[in-house]
Chain A
Amino acid sequence: MNLQDFLAMEESRERDELIDLRSLDLVSEYDSHLMCPICHCPFVEPVRLQCDHVFCGSCLSSAINSFRSADSDEFPCPSCRNPTQKVSASVPRLLINMCDEIRVLCPLITEGCQEIIPRGHVQSHVEKYCGYRLLPCPDNSCDQMTRSKDVGMDQKCIHKVRRCAHCKENVLEHEYEEHEKELCPVLEVTCADCETVVTRGALQEHIESCPEVAIPCAASKYACPVKIRRADIAAHEQSCPIVAMGPYFETQNARLKSLESSMRHLQQRNEIFEDGLANIRSTLFESTRLGANSHSGGQPPQSDREQQSSARVDAHTDDPADLAAGVFSSNATTYLLSLHESLREEVSQLSHAITDLDARASMAIMNECMRIKEDIAHTNAAVNSVRMQVQWLMNPRLHQGTRGGAVRPSSTESEGTRTNMASSVAGPSHATGQSLGPLRPRRPSDSGREGTKL
């Protein structure tokens, strides 16, 4: 259809919808392709342009109204600005379904409806099923609104206020029955025990004073099992021996409590002292041992003293009056033993760690050695090849030298320094050992080797 028709159709479209689909609270995420580029909401009644861009019908009609130059039959697409003349209402069903599937909260959440529904069903939910929709009161004379779930089958107004005949309180009509039966404070009830009739408001008070209600004896907390009517309780309490003992029990209880607390306090202090003593003992023991180890010469008197002290300890343990001290010292020895044990453990752990480290270090050294050996082999090879080359280079000169041995001393000045040195070393030798023919070629090479070694 062309633009005019489209605008006319949009205008004539019935706007009787209760709900603005754009103001719903979306619960689920939706694909961004389902968002109208104009209102940034999922499409509502989408339409399509020639360029295949889709918009909400109402968004597009306002876009046309604000972009179309007066009465031309063209207008630029809001997305790509292609000139457009025709609007098509046929949008893929898929698109509409996807938009209708988006989950939204019921718009009557303000009234208390918690339901989450697909957007396509919102209209019918609100119109038919939602119990929180406000309806005008069935009674025409009442101008208040009623939630649809509160409108009963009998179509009565629930807002009518009725005055309770008993308590003179104003109660809503539909709550009246409940009020009358259960809540009204003036309502009369009978006491379950004494069968006296009292009002509901005074029932609690009555139960507290009712002579028929069974109450426990005052000494029940000291195990008196008697539980009888209030009227008889006084007589029982007069004769109950436990009640008579009551005050005495009270004072004993109080004393017990205070004793317990002071004992706890003392126990704590005792623990602290014991710890302190154990600490002192261990440090003393440690220092004496250290002293014994360091002055091996001064050991005899030390051990003497130790023997003395142990003898004294023995004496103490024999003495029944000082049994506590003996127990204490045995405590200390176990403490020391455990200390010793833990130290031993630590030492063994350390030795383990050391062997571990040792192995690792030797491994590393081995690796390094291998590498270095390889390097050395490489270097050796290189040196050998250099030596060969030098020898090869030296060979012609050597031959020259053997040929012109007599001229040599005068020609040495013109030669290079190192070869010069070498040949000068060689010079006298072959001057002296000219008769040793076969040895001659080796000597310069030997000296050459010396040179590389340097």
Chain B
Amino acid sequence: MDLAKDEKLPGNNLHVSRKIDYFPYIPPLFITLILLVGQITFGILDSYINVIISIATSIIAEVLLARLILGTHKNLASAYITGISVGILVRSNMVWPYVIAALLSILSKYVIRYKGRHLWNPSNFGVSWLLFMAPLSVAGLGIQWGNNLLPMAVIWLLGLGIVYRAKKLHVTLTYVTCFVILAYVRSLITSDPFLAELAPLTGPMYQLFIFFMITDPGTSVSGKRAQIVVVIIVAIVEFILRLESFIYAPFYALFLVGPVARFIDLKQNKSQTIANQTNEARQN
């Protein structure tokens, strides 16, 4: 999630400028805005407690793991976004899925690493795992949002502005374009109405996915062209999963494609690896 990830965070960045860069704080504010708009306007949350628990779990895990494993202090914006995403996306009548999803998300960053970098988008990992492996206890945010276009339009405009500022607009636009085209193809294949295939794009699950998961710099590949190729592959895998009736197809598609692309990218891109290792060495 994590437009505010490792590379751009103050105190955690080789390229930080001398001017104070406030942009890393924008994504956490934006996801908080989505939560607040959703909650105040429609009551998107079933319980504040679950979100608080998942945020707290993420932050505590991040603080401890960064200190004990990397020997550093990390900016907590990323953990905050992970926690809030888990709190919104996971739906359960019990508390433990929120704790475990948040823990798995953060742990994945420290456990599954290649050349000093993590491979999965943290919340994509935690949420996908629970949705797939714990269906008797967990469902996802998929069938709730309001009946008003205005809040959705505001979130889309703000989100597009932020990913533009983060230089990830091409990722978002490519994905949305692919989704719309493939929705049309699906409607031809399934004979379902095009609007039914397009409908998920109007829900909050996709807003979190589009603005926070697929644009995550921490798990993106290098180079604009490569990023576009990867997001097209994500959209195609999602298309296939949708034809197989996977409700949480976008999460699963990113779960499958993202780390493979990231692994190949890290394997090929030596300079980035060296920079990252240097960065970690400085932090340590």
- The yes or no verdict on A and B being binding partners is no
